[in-house]
Structure 1
Amino acid sequence: MHENFKKAGFRGLAFKLALWNAAKANYEFRMKEMGLLDESAVEWFNDKPPLQWSRSHFQTFPKCDMLLNNLCESFNSSILEAREKPILTMLEWIRKYLMTRLTENRDKAKKSWCEKQICPKIRKIIEKNMEKSADCIPLKSDDWNYELKVCDGDRLTINLRTHSCSCRR
């Protein structure tokens, strides 16, 4: 935008700063300031909708649900080799790359899961909770209620029908 502005004859630091101020801040206010420099500069902008170049007119909601583009950057850097190829060859290269990558990740996951149904991190949490639960002594009150004596001396009441516990209020 600035290069086109310069080509239209609006050169110099004052015009450059006025343009960037209009692009970054309140469009209407900054255009009045630009008009003080040169009214024809404001006319030059009249056929260019501020929705396309002024931040004050940009939409504020995100265009995708990811706030970071690290995933895109990583993917783009991995397909650099393919980007120089003709379109069909490039797409075939990317297809094969993705198939290989997904297979490698799947095999790595299978190896670390060791034929178990729960992933390793969750399995560690469950094992830790199982160790803690070995110190608890349940006492049945009736068909649905239990009193649980915990190793630190606390007593909790648990209702199996409502899936509630006195530890969660």
Structure 2
Amino acid sequence: PRRIRAGGARDHLLGAHAVSGFGDSFKTGGKVVKNVTGYDLCKLLAGSWGTLSVMTEVTLKVMPKPEAERTLLLRGLDDAAANKAMTAALGSPFDVSGAAHLPKSAFRAKIEGLGDLLGEGEALTVLRLEGIIASAAHRAGSLRELLAPFGTATLVEDV
């Protein structure tokens, strides 16, 4: 769900040392973002599932952890309504960093780690906001108002 904001794992791979199927060792990419030039072989290697080469050393771009996280939960939406709610949230100026919809059928088995968030096994639509404390709190309140036509959104702080 966070790929909207942070990108995929392959987007964070800056450089790699690898060994090809012929036993040749090679290097691609660099150690910092600005050093990556030419064809970005790192992205190709990241998506090859080890069929092109075996990476022996990787350089990853890391991002700072946000100061605060706010999560809005909408319960009981069907797939179409959840799609409309997520589209409205992602198209809003409130900088949503993650969105997911868990349909009712996903809760046939108990899911560990979610505690009381699930309720009675109803569908759950989840939207995340990240940033500094004041900004995340303000944007969560504004997004809650925007999503009012879809039902009451429960706010979970610093998940």
Same fold by TM (over 0.5)? no
Larger radius of gyration: 1
Structure with the larger strand share: 2
Where is the helix percentage greater, Structure 1 or Structure 2? 1
Q: TM-score range by the shorter chain?
A: under 0.3
